[in-house]
Amino acid sequence: MAAPIWVTPPGDLGTVVEGEFYQVQLDATNADSYTYLSGVLPVGIRVTANGILEGNPKNYDYIQGVPTEVAQDVTSKFVVRATSSDGTVADRVFEMTVTGQDAPKIDATPDSDLGVYFDGDQVNVQLTATDPDPQDVLSWSYQSGEIPDGLTVSNTGKISGYIEPFADIDGTPGFDATNFDMTEWDFRTKAINKNYEWFIQVTDTKDFDTKQYSLYAVSRNIVTADMDIVSADNDRTTNTNKTIDQLLDASQSSLRRPALLTESTGLGRVDHNNYFNFQFVGRDFDGDSIDYILSSGSLPTGLTLDAQSGFISGTIPSFAATETTFTFGVQVRKRDNTAFISPETSFTITIIGEVDSTVTWPDSTMTIKTGEQSQLDVVADISDGRPVQYELKSGSTQVQAGNFVVGETYTIVTAGTTDFISIGSANNTVGTIFTATGVGSGSGTASLGANKLPQGLRLNEDGLIVGRVSFETLVFDTNSTTFDITNLYTNQTTFEQVYSFVARVYSSDGVVDTYKKFTITVVADTTKPYESLFIKALPEQDQRDIYETLIQNNDDIPQEDVYRASDYAFGIQRDIRSLISTGLSPKEESDYIEAMSKNFWNNTLRFGSLKTARALNADDTVKYEVVYIELIDNKQGTDPVTGLSASPALRQDVRSNVSTWSNPLNVDSGLPDVSHGHYLASQNNDYFVYPNSIENMRSRLKTDIGYQVLERKVLPDWMQDKQVDNTILGWTLAVPVVYCKEGTAGKIKYRLEQRIKDEGYDIKKISFEIDRFILDNNLSTYYKGGSFVSTIETTFDLGDPTTTFDGDGTRFFAYIDTYTSRDEGDIFIKFPQVGPFDRLPYTER
């Protein structure tokens, strides 16, 4: 058949309007099928094959779909391949433009009639608008009309402030200056009722929408005993009309309540040993004198609030190595009529003690691979050596605007009056993550994030992050899950690859108490879990005492020399155990039993000499050192050619050269008993044995179980890294005794050897007979087909509001692959035979 020949010309296929169905036929003669080959298709557009074969064959391909929203015209180029029935191909490049800038639309709520207010009252109304275009940032502004004095429109769409009394007369208070028969002789503020109307605009910089708003302001001067605007039985609390009836009833007074104009905010992060002052601004709209009072909480030591001026000032004394946040409330009230008082406004101020000079934190950015044994930590350097403890800081660590740390990453919790855009945020929407470029101001709050470590890890009290990272990277356990970034191009969906948490360090005496935010990036080195096999000695108590005496002597193994002392995977090893194989494919236990039907029977290992090894960092500096005991497998042989240790064949024929050799079992034979379950009188002779060297066991596992990842990639670091003599150990049959810090392994090894020699603690007296494996399958339990977890059905976005993921509450399988201690949940797989001739099945005897 001839090669496909394109009929549809290359290049522009036209302009597509977003949201509208689009379809175009692509035509190539001799084509049997069409496929999208490369480039970028507009989101929402796909290529599907649809052919008709009749007469002169001609096939058609349809590019069809509904383009998703775009914020500007976007031209996409892509390649479509036409393929004939014999596999011959022809490619062609096309392009198409998606257009559809959408104008923002101001939402119907709140209503354009904002209601009725007294002058001097606070107005706080948030306007909203809808713009389908992704990534558009909306900006609000006052356009025209008359807005009450004292009110402003922020660029985030908030109408806020206190309505200024709108006086209709001029003059100063007093008998002589008062207009006769207009108001009281010694008036404070004379005002009238007034309706205001104005226009507000929202824009995405490309288009805009405008809406009129109105507000009716009522003067408190009308609130007198003889007023006739409302009836005496009016109850403002139950009246739903947007009229003066909502404000007035017999309980109202003509006096205006004073207001604290300073918004709730953070007053900053202030160093100790420092003079500080800040003035709160209040106002009484009647012109009365006011006092400032501390209504709740407490001020930092050394600061006082001046009741008349509103200043908090003073010298902050020395603080210990702590970050102490003080929260307090401030109100203003009429000096001579204290019943008239403003609502409480809350403020925070953070005092920074000797943190910088006392506590030095490590780098806040960390990386770990899936399945990797953690060697991460948040251990800070404490200058005076004071004992400290670590924990995940409780709560979500919310920080008020004014207290943000430049360069720190936050998530908006409440927008308030804070313009987050001005300090690094893409917008002011709750849930937006941003890196602060300023300390901020206003009443907004942001969080340093929920304290969630990757699944499988835990923070110890000594600052070590211990455990193994789960392979379950698609588990919504309340971190920052991102679904297909809102972009004009296709992006890979990433699930829970970056985890943030806040670590707190503190001392029991309270001298040190501070915190820092850290992030851990999980690299999905492999998404499929692997398993490991270990052996563990179970000696008699007197033999166990020999090992315990050696490892618990602080003179030989000083605690200060131990690497990651509280981490079960490192530090001093309490168990006599050895790694047999790792990186194995996740299989059912029955598969292991089947694989162990040959070459697996009881074996006794001997202890060799003490040796040392090291693990390196990426820059070839020493990460840690290890002292280990070499294990000797008596089932290993010697290669007659090289003279090196070699494993016997997996199967050996034990017959001699005499072809007539036989070893019959007679009916009257004393041993073995022919009635024994493993032998039958009619059974054939045994000719083959399967040597049980450890290397043979490893070979059998490699063949019958297989490796999920290359073993050399997941061996302990000290088996992978280059040693002092430039060799790499690879897998080693050994028992790690202690993981220690750089430069200490040699000393520890020497001390242990001397104690063995001088005090007779001979480790070679310890029995290490193995008859089973420990299968470490904690991270593969829920991967295997035979293990599963069911949950109730989940429905997303069936109504309004839409679902928000990871708001510190979405949890699907968060309890799977959590931190487990050593051997927790592990399975012991016992060898199916104890000797070379009692294996099954009988047909191989």
pLDDT of residue 251: 66
Instruction: Using pLDDT thresholds of 50, 70 and 90, give the confidence band for residue 42.
Output: confident
- Pick the range with the lowest mean pLDDT from 48-57, 97-106, 463-472, 754-763: 48-57
Instruction: Using pLDDT thresholds of 50, 70 and 90, give the confidence band for residue 422.
Output: confident
Domains 105-246 and 531-651+690-776 in one fold: no
pLDDT of residue 615: 97
Instruction: Using pLDDT thresholds of 50, 70 and 90, give the confidence band for residue 493.
Output: very low
pLDDT of residue 814: 45
Q: pLDDT higher for 736 or 507?
A: 736
Q: pLDDT higher for 273 or 818?
A: 273
- The answer to whether 568 touches 468, Cβ cutoff 8 Å, is no
pLDDT of residue 247: 67
- Pick the range with the lowest mean pLDDT from 10-19, 293-302, 614-623: 10-19
Dihedral pair phi/psi, residue 472, rounded to 5°: -80, 70
Domain borders along the chain are 5-99, 105-246, 259-353, 359-397+448-526+782-816, 400-447, 531-651+690-776, 652-688
Model confidence at 733: pLDDT above 90: yes
3-state secondary structure of 702: helix
Q: What is the mean pLDDT of residues 411-427?
A: 87
Instruction: Using pLDDT thresholds of 50, 70 and 90, give the confidence band for residue 819.
Output: low
Instruction: Using pLDDT thresholds of 50, 70 and 90, give the confidence band for residue 70.
Output: low
Q: What is the mean pLDDT of residues 689-715?
A: 89
- Sort residue 258 into left (φ over 0), alpha (ψ -120 to 50) or beta: beta
pLDDT of residue 827: 84
Whole-angstrom CA distances from 392 to 323, 351, 459, 462, 679 are 16, 21, 7, 12, 62
Q: What is the mean pLDDT of residues 108-121?
A: 89
Dihedral pair phi/psi, residue 830, rounded to 5°: -80, 145
Model confidence at 345: pLDDT above 80: yes
- Pick the range with the lowest mean pLDDT from 50-54, 534-538, 718-722, 741-745: 50-54
Model confidence at 504: pLDDT above 70: yes
- The answer to whether 476 touches 806, Cβ cutoff 8 Å, is yes
105-246 maps to which CATH number?
Answer: 2.60.40.10
Considering the four listed CATH numbers 2.60.40.10, 1.10.286.10, 3.40.50.1000, 3.40.50.720, the one that applies to the domain covering 359-397+448-526+782-816 is: 2.60.40.10
Contacts of residue 791, defined as CB under 8 A and 6 or more positions apart, other chains included, come to 812, 813
Each residue's pLDDT tens digit, 774-787: 998 776 665 554 44
Q: Among 438-447, 511-520, 725-734, which range has the highest average pLDDT? A: 725-734
Mean pLDDT of the chain: 80
Each residue's pLDDT tens digit, 630-670: 999 988 877 778 877 788 888 877 765 555 555 565 656 55
Model confidence at 762: pLDDT above 70: yes
Q: Among 58-67, 299-308, 464-473, which range has the highest average pLDDT? A: 299-308
3-state secondary structure of 313: strand
Q: Which residues pair with 345 in a beta bridge?
A: 330
Q: pLDDT higher for 637 or 701?
A: 701
Q: What is the mean pLDDT of residues 370-395?
A: 89
Q: Which residues pair with 197 in a beta bridge?
A: 214
Q: pLDDT higher for 146 or 103?
A: 146
Q: pLDDT higher for 482 or 48?
A: 48
State what percent of residues in the chain have pLDDT above 70.
75
Considering the four listed CATH numbers 3.10.20.30, 3.30.70.270, 3.40.50.300, 2.60.40.10, the one that applies to the domain covering 259-353 is: 2.60.40.10
Give the other-Cβ count within 10 Å of 457's Cβ.
22
Each residue's pLDDT tens digit, 585-617: 988 888 888 888 888 888 889 999 999 999 999
Model confidence at 441: pLDDT above 80: yes
Reading the block at residue 48, the tokens are 């599907």
Q: What is the mean pLDDT of residues 82-99?
A: 87
Give the other-Cβ count within 10 Å of 511's Cβ.
18
Closest CA to 208 of 135, 68, 106: 106
Model confidence at 806: pLDDT above 50: no
Q: What is the mean pLDDT of residues 471-487?
A: 46
User: What kind of fold does domain 531-651+690-776 have according to CATH?
Assistant: Cyclic Phosphodiesterase; Chain: A, (3.90.1140)
- Residue 350 CA to residue 269 CA, distance in Å, equals 5
Q: Max CA-CA distance within the chain?
A: 143
Whole-angstrom CA distances from 59 to 56, 63, 746 are 10, 13, 77
pLDDT of residue 71: 57
pLDDT of residue 804: 47
pLDDT of residue 624: 97
Each residue's pLDDT tens digit, 210-262: 999 999 888 887 766 555 565 555 555 555 555 666 666 656 777 889 999 99
- The answer to whether 366 touches 382, Cβ cutoff 8 Å, is no
Instruction: Using pLDDT thresholds of 50, 70 and 90, give the confidence band for residue 185.
Output: very low
Model confidence at 191: pLDDT above 60: no
- Residue type at position 517: K
pTM over cut 0.85: no
Closest CA to 778 of 769, 765, 787: 787
Q: Among 314-323, 558-567, 628-637, 824-833, which range has the highest average pLDDT? A: 558-567
- Domain 5-99's class? mainly beta
- Residue type at position 643: G
- The answer to whether 769 touches 604, Cβ cutoff 8 Å, is yes
pLDDT of residue 432: 87
- Residue 500 CA to residue 817 CA, distance in Å, equals 19
